[in-house]
Structures are given as structure tokens and as C-alpha cells.
A and B are shown apart, each in its own frame.
Chain A
């Protein structure tokens, strides 16, 4: 077809390297989620706080994260801050960019989840002598994470896929970066990227199925 001869063997021979790349992709995605969730909880607390400046900081973060391209966020974390003499490795820049994005989206998810939890839950906690923070930590947060669990799974999938944007800041150790480098060496473009796509697909499938399993174990109520 179109005079193109598929040479799958040549591409498949590079599979181990691509799988190493997949591991780096997972590393970035998992780290960006863990830090992203922690930051999103913090942003949620800031938005709940009575302080105007703190609210403004959180709102600005969420607005930028959700209303600008992820590519821009990663680019800024590398070349943008470099203008001020701050230099991050491609890995760090990618991690910062995706974490920033995750935190913004998750904070918005958490806000929605919070609205679904009645105020009387906090009141019940406070009436037992808990501080505002204790009531949040032990009563509100666990319920919030449950409600937001599905959106969190989606964000995790999105984080994996966003790692492909790392190539724009010179990332070449993740799945997409490795594939791009191998392509430059072998020109087996279709085969290599088809394999990469399959690996991405398998990773995201494992995440969604794994999340379902975790949910069934964790949320027994």
C-alpha cells in the first residue's frame, strides 16, 4: 500500500527501550498526581478560607490551569522561567507543568465534591469538640476524595497522555521522547508510533481498571 513496506521487526526490536520510556512516563504521571492532589487539597482549603488574597491566589491558579493549553504550562515551566535565570531539567519542567495542570483541575473537582457534602457534617464534627481542621481532615476530606475519585482517575489518564508534551522542552527519556529519538534513527515512523500508541493505551486501561478495583476495596459504604 502506497509503496510502504512495514518492518515491524525493526521497530519491535526497540520495544525494551520504549518500555523503559514508559516507566519514566509513569514516574512523571504518578509524581504529578501525588503532588497535584496534595496541592489541590491546599488550593481547596485556600478557597474555603476567609482571606481574600489567599482565595485570589487559588482562584488564579485554577483559572490558568484550566483555561490555557497544557503545552503552554509546560513551556512556561521550562523556557518561561529560564528568562528569569531559573533553569530546570526537562524532567523537572514537565513534572512542574503537569502538576500545575493537575492541581488546577483537581481543585475544581474537589470544590464540586465539597458542595455535595452537607454542612451539617462539619457541624456534627465541631459539636464533638473537633477543630475546623480536624473536621475537614477526618470527616470532609475522605468523603470528598470518594466523590472526586472518578474525576481523579480521568486526570491520572490525562497526566499520562500529557507527558507526550515533554518533547517540546527537550524531554527524551519518556515513552514519547524515546519513540521520537528512535524514529530519527530508524525512520520506522508508523511502526514505532503505533507501538507507542498501544503502550499508552495499555497504561491508561490499567489505570482505569486498577482505579475501579481500588474503589471497590476502599469505598465499602
Chain B
């Protein structure tokens, strides 16, 4: 379970999160929508401790992420994150990209790590590309590789930060299909996205962020068909 309690976060003078409260249950898929600068991406990087927070707290399975005593390296093994920019490691083959962390962080043997990596890469449809270098892959393929790389650590939670925003339109579908597949398999996910059809399709709940505040959260039917907050209505009208 991920519990976000009254989280505040500023970059300099700019307060990007103004008291966020959100609990995500095991097996739940929550998507976060909202305009740019609404703080939705920042929230994800706070959840796995890549960014410090100014106030409030975030608990992952009861462990406080920003407590001094928390071993972040250990905690991050539970929380996979995939970014808008997929960040492939260019000097490693697709297979090596995926085996690196299991081998160096989990201390897995080569054969075991490769077996897991192969399985995950096949899972995302890259079984034929094991010995290819990432620069030879399309953006969509690199993004799916990044997903496999995160999954190879067997995380309990996956965070997706606008994973289709940097892709050419014709490549968006393949990545969304991968995310959908994960959701159907019961992965606990928080997805920040601009893809409204996707959000409506896979989410258990959809949250709308506006200027650092979670203006509204609800099941997709309610949020999309009968938004309560005026800002949600305005936003949805603008993206339709």
C-alpha cells in the first residue's frame, strides 16, 4: 500500500505540491491526469525518494520513504519507475540493460538474471532484440525495454511518468498495450498520463491534479462523465 499524506514540495519559490493525500491499495491502478505544471510528475519522483519533500509523509508498505533511517536503495527495489525519457543505457545491449540491476543490486548470477530478463523482454515483445543496442531501437521499443528493465527487479509497485509523451503518435499504442497488460495482471500502478482513453480504460481510480492540488479523484465513469470540480470540467473540455 502506498500512503501519501499531506505532502508539500517546493522548487525554490514555486510550490508544486500543496498538500496531497492519496492512498493506493495493492493491486489498484490509479492514473493521474492534469495540465503541465500541476505537480503530477513530481509526486512520482517523491514516492520513490528521488526528490525530497518539505512536509507530510509518504509510506510504502508502512516504511516512511523520506525518513533518515530508510534505506532508499532497498526501498526502490520494490518500486519500479519508468520515465517520459526512457533513459536506455546506450553502452549496453537490450539484454544487458535489463540484467544490470538484478545482477549488481540483487547480486543475482548471470544465468539467473538473463533468464528473468529474457522472460520480461519477451513479455513486452522484445524477445527478438536481446543483443541489439538501444540506439537501434525505436522510441516505443526503448520505452518497452525500460519497462522490462524495471519489471526485472520484481517490483511490487510501478510508477509510470508520462511514458508515451515523448513518443511518435504511431508508437504510443504499443506502449499503452504493455501498460494495459500489466494492469490486467494485477500490478499496482500509478500512471501519470495525458492519454484520456487509456486512463478511462485501465484505471480503478482517476485523479485530477490542478496547480499542486488533487482537485478530484473518482472511478473513471464518474470523473469523466460527471466531474464535480469546475477545474476538472474545464480540463476535460479542453482535451476532448
Contacts and interface: CB of A to CB of B under 8 A. Distances in A.
Whether A associates with B in a native complex is yes
A135 to B, nearest CB: 10
B89 A121 contact: yes
A143 B105 contact: no
A134 B72 CA distance: 14
A129 interface: yes
Contact of A123 (B87, B100, B105): B87
A131 interface: yes
Contacts of A221: 90-91, 133-135
A127 interface: yes
A172 B219 CA distance: 84
A220 B81 CA distance: 28
A220 B89 contact: no
A8 interface: no
B90 A131 contact: no
Nearest to B87: A124
A138 B76 contact: no
Interface string A116-152: 0010110111111111001000110011001000000
A124 B146 CA distance: 9
B74 interface: yes
Nearest to B101: A128
B87 A143 contact: no
B77 interface: yes
Interface in B54-95: 73-74, 76-77, 80-81, 83, 85, 87, 89-91
A134 B76 CA distance: 14
A181 to B, nearest CB: 47
B108 interface: no
Contacts, number: 62
Contacts of A146: 91
B89 A128 contact: no
A127 B48 contact: yes
A116 B197 CA distance: 38
Contact of B76 (A128, A139, A142): A128
Interface residues of A, number: 21
Contact of B77 (A120, A129, A134, A142): A129
A209 to B, nearest CB: 24
Given A129-B153, A221-B135, A124 B105 contact: no
B85 A120 contact: yes
Contacts of B83: 120, 123-124
Nearest to A144: B91
Contacts of A138: 100, 104
Contacts of B50: 123, 126-127
Given A142-B91, A143-B90, A146-B91, A128 B133 contact: no
B59 to A, nearest CB: 19
B150 interface: yes
A128 B83 CA distance: 12
B135 A128 contact: no
Nearest to A146: B91
A149 to B, nearest CB: 12
Contact of A134 (B89, B104, B149, B153): B104
B193 to A, nearest CB: 18
B87 A128 contact: no
A146 to B, nearest CB: 7
A126 B104 CA distance: 12
14 contacts: A120-B87, A123-B83, A126-B50, A127-B48, A127-B150, A128-B149, A129-B73, A129-B76, A129-B153, A134-B104, A139-B89, A142-B91, A143-B91, A220-B133
Q: Identify the 4 closest CB pairs spanning chains A and B, nearest first.
A: A124-B87, A128-B101, A221-B133, A129-B77
Given A127-B48, A134-B104, A138-B100, 19 more contacts: A123-B50, A124-B83, A124-B87, A125-B89, A125-B101, A126-B76, A128-B76, A128-B100, A128-B101, A129-B74, A129-B76, A130-B73, A130-B105, A131-B73, A142-B91, A219-B91, A221-B91, A221-B133, A221-B134
